[in-house]
Amino acid sequence: MARAKPAAKAGDQPADTANGLGKDALLGFYRNMLLIRRFEERAGQLYGMGLIGGFCHLYIGQEAIAVGVQSIQEEGDQVITAYRDHGHMLACGMDPNEVMAELTGRAGGSSKGKGGSMHMFSREAEFYGGHGIVGASAPLGTGLALANRYRDNGKVTFTYFGDGAANQGQVYESFNMAALWKLPVVYVIENNQYAMGTSLERSSSETHMYKRGASFRIPGEEVDGMDVLAVRDAAKRAAAHARSGEGPFILEMKTYRYRGHSMSDPAKYRTREEVDEVRKTRDPIEHLREMLEKEGLADEAALKAIDADVKKIVAEAAEFARTSPEPELAELYTEVYVEAAQ
C-alpha cells in the first residue's frame, strides 16, 4: 500500500530564519499540523455520520507536539503512544487513507479493520501503537528502548502518554528501570490539562509533570506544546541526552485539546470561554502561520496552496475510508497466532 511522504524534516537547507531552519522545513511543519487538524475534523464528521464506531479521541489542539518531535527524529527511532494516536501516525508518515480506513473498520485500514482508532501500528514507520490501556505505552516504549540498548544501535524511543496516564504506577516502574539502565528513551508527557473529565489540579499532587522523574534522577523540562519550534528545540535536547547514553529525559508538553476526551464527551467540566481563549491565543497552527507571514516566508497564496493540498488528501482519505470494503469474514480468524517458522 502507498505511503504518504514522511513528515518534513529540517535538513541541511539554508537557514532562512532566526531558528536556523529552512523555509521548506517550516512550511512542512505547517502542512503537517494542518493535515492532522483537517484529518481529525473529518474523522469527527465521519463519527457523527456513524461511519466510525466506538471511541474516537481527536488530537485537535495538540498538533505541534507530534509534528515538532517527529522533525528531529532520526531514521530508525521509534514512536509509541496511547489512544489519542491519529496525529502521531500522520506525523510518522503513515498513509492517511490507511489511518482513516482503520477508523471506519475497513479492509484498507492499517490493521485491516481489526484494530480501530486506538490500535494502529506500522513497523515500516517505526510506529508501535496505538495502545488503549492508559499508561501501557510507558513500559512498552521503555522496552523498545531496552532493545535499542541491547543492539547498541544508537536509536531513541519517543514514548508518549498523557497527564492522566502519568498517575499510573507502571509509568514509575518504567522510569525506575529506564534511569537505572540508562535506556535511550524520551518520555513525552502531553499535558492537555484534563484526564478525561478530571482536571490536573483535581488528580495530581504534583502538577508539574516534568518533575515527575525527580525521584529517579530523570531530568525534565517544561515545554510550550503549542509552539512547534519550542517543541522541536526541546525534543532535540532530550534526544541528544538519551542518544548519548545519559538515559531517559522527560518533556512535559503543555498543551490543550479543543474537543472532548472522546467524541461522546460533552466536556462539561470546562467552559466554552476557556476553550475559546486557547484557540484564540495559543493555537499552534495560527501561531506558525503568523510567524511565516511576519517573516515573509510565505504569502497568502502559498498557504492557500497548502490548505488546498491538505484538504484534497483528507477528502481522499475520507472517500477511501468510506468506500473501502469491510474486511472479509475469514479475517476474523487470521493473525490470532503467528505461523511457526520451524
Partner 1 sequence: MTDILMPALSPTMEEGTLAKWHVKVGDTVSAGDVIAEIETDKATMEVEAVDEGVVEELLVEAGAEGVKVNAPIARLAGGAAPAKAEPEPKASDAEEAEASGDPEKKPPADAKAEQPEGDGPAAVRPAEALADPEIPEGAKLVKTTVRDALRDAMAEEMRRDETVFLMGEEVAQYQGAYKVSRGLLEEFGERRVIDTPITEYGFAGLGVGAAMAGLKPIVEFMTWNFAMQAIDHIVNSAAKTHYMSGGQITTPMVFRGPNGAASRVAAQHSQDYAAWYAHIPGLKVIAPYDAADAKGLLKAAIRDPNPVVFLEHEMLYGQEFDVPEVDDYVLPIGKAKVRRTGADVTITAYSRMVGLALKAAEELAGEGIEAEVVDLRTLRPLDHETVVESVRKTHRLVTVEEGWGPMGVGAEIIARVIEHAFDYLDAPPARVCQEDVPLPYAANLEALSLPSVDKIVKAAKAVSYRS
Q: Write out the binding residues for partner 1, residues 72-111 only, by CB under 8 A.
A: 78, 80, 104-105, 109-111
**Which 116-145 positions form the footprint of partner 1 (CB under 8 A)?**
119-123, 128-133, 136, 138-145
**Which 172-231 positions form the footprint of partner 1 (CB under 8 A)?**
173-174, 176-177, 180
Residue 226 region by backbone torsions, left for phi larger than 0, else alpha for psi between -120 and 50, else beta: alpha
Strand order in the sheet with 78-80: 78-80, 157-162, 185-191, 249-254, 220-224
* Residue 25 vs 256, nearer CB to partner 1: 256
Of these, 169, 201, 280, 294, which contacts partner 1 (CB under 8 A)? 169
* Residue 15 vs 180, nearer CB to partner 1: 180
Smallest separation (angstroms) from partner 1 to the CB of 218: 14
With binding defined as CB under 8 A, does residue 329 bind partner 1?
yes
With binding defined as CB under 8 A, does residue 258 bind partner 1?
yes
Of these, 13, 19, 170, 203, which contacts partner 1 (CB under 8 A)? 170
**Which 267-326 positions form the footprint of partner 1 (CB under 8 A)?**
267-268, 272, 279, 304, 308, 311-312, 315-316, 318-319, 322, 326
Q: Count residues contacting partner 1 (CB under 8 A)?
A: 90
Please state, in angstroms and as integers, the Cα–Cα distance from residue 286 to each residue in 227, 277, 280, following that order.
Answer: 10, 13, 9
Q: Cell triple for residue 245? A: 547514553
Smallest separation (angstroms) from partner 1 to the CB of 114: 6
* Residue 23 vs 112, nearer CB to partner 1: 112
The stretch near partner 1 (CB under 8 A) out of 63-71, 86-94, 239-247, 332-340 is 332-340
What does the DSSP 8-state code read for residue 111? T
Which sign does the torsion angle of CA 100, 66, 125, 25 carry? positive
The per-residue DSSP string of 47-100 comes to HHTTSS-S-----TT-HHHHHHHHTTPPTT-EEE--S--HHHHHHTT--HHHHH
* Residue 221 vs 265, nearer CB to partner 1: 265
With binding defined as CB under 8 A, does residue 2 bind partner 1?
no
3-state SS, residue 137: helix
Smallest separation (angstroms) from partner 1 to the CB of 112: 4
Smallest separation (angstroms) from partner 1 to the CB of 39: 11
* Residue 93 vs 129, nearer CB to partner 1: 129
Q: Cell triple for residue 285? A: 497552527
Please state, in angstroms and as integers, the Cα–Cα distance from residue 156 to each residue in 19, 223, 230, following that order.
Answer: 24, 19, 20
3-state SS, residue 131: coil
Distance CA(293)–CA(304), nearest Å, equals 12
Smallest separation (angstroms) from partner 1 to the CB of 10: 27
Smallest separation (angstroms) from partner 1 to the CB of 170: 5
Query: Could you tell me if 198 and 162 are in contact, meaning their C-beta atoms sit under 8 angstroms apart?
Result: no
The stretch near partner 1 (CB under 8 A) out of 66-74, 170-178, 239-247, 293-301 is 170-178
Query: Could you tell me if 24 and 13 are in contact, meaning their C-beta atoms sit under 8 angstroms apart?
Result: yes
**Which 15-74 positions form the footprint of partner 1 (CB under 8 A)?**
37-38, 41-42, 44-54, 60
